[in-house]
Amino acid sequence: MNIGRSSNPALSRSVFNTQSYTASYTEVMTLNGTINKSLAMLLLVIVGAMYTWKMFFGAATIEAGAALTSKWIMIGGIGGFIFSLITIFKKTWAYITAPIYAILQGLFLGAISAFFEARYPGLVMQAVALTFGTLFVMLIAYRTGMVKVTQKFRAGIIAATGAVVLVYFISIIFSLFGVNNLIIHSNGAFGIGISVVIVIIAALNLILDFDFIAKGSQAGLPKYMEWYAAFGLMLTLIWLYIEILRLLSKIASRD
């Protein structure tokens, strides 16, 4: 079966190469099982986010809340990155590392969301609604065949995602030298336009993830791949939320 490729690093072609697995696994990956694991990971993200969110707004002042949650941004961000790498390189550990990743990312997202909400009230609810709205729209588009995952479509999204990664890498390099006012971070028309394009690219990555998971489940992969596939989908969903949050904050800052 030609399972194809995803621009998501967790869902590469080699991950779903059935020849790399032995016949010792009696239980196999299913679509329903992957959906259940994805919902479980989403719940863990929400639980982690609620913890740091309540910590921020439960403090006496915004400054105190920022001081309390700033460490969780580091812990959640760095810890989530570490566990994402562990999950990618040790797929068989996904049933342990993927849930830990979800909790850590929840702590990170809850903290940064609280920062944005304190500055722009109502922004986070809009970002959450748009993220889930985009998820469902992309799922419907995939299931109904409105968007077909052809080789050209897949290659285009992978190339576009690679370009986004390169832009952010360059931005990080510049920030190390004290240059933080790059136009891509501005709230001008060009900066907002770039954010819109990145949101679209992240949304289209969901289509690739849906296709990859559907075909992976048809290939009869080991049961632990349900956790791994759910982890890959969560990577894209979290990226989409962060980019929508950035876009909305740019628009709000113009008022």
The domain limits of the chain are: 27-252
- Counts of helices then strands in the chain (DSSP H, E): 7, 0
What is residue 8's predicted lDDT score, i.e. its pLDDT? 62
pLDDT of residue 82: 96
Contacts 24+ apart (CB under 8 A), 56-60: 56/110, 56/111, 56/114, 56/115, 56/118, 57/114, 57/118
Token pair for residue 119? 């500055």
Verdict on whether the full-model pTM lies above 0.85:
yes
DSSP class of residue 166?
A: H
Look at residue 196 in the predicted model and tell me its pLDDT.
94
Q: Are the CB atoms for 125 and 114 separated by under 8 Å?
A: no
* Low-confidence stretches of the chain (pLDDT beneath 50): 1-5, 16, 18-23
Given this model, what pLDDT does residue 1 score? Answer: 43
pLDDT given for residue 46 in this prediction: 96
At 19 the pLDDT is 43
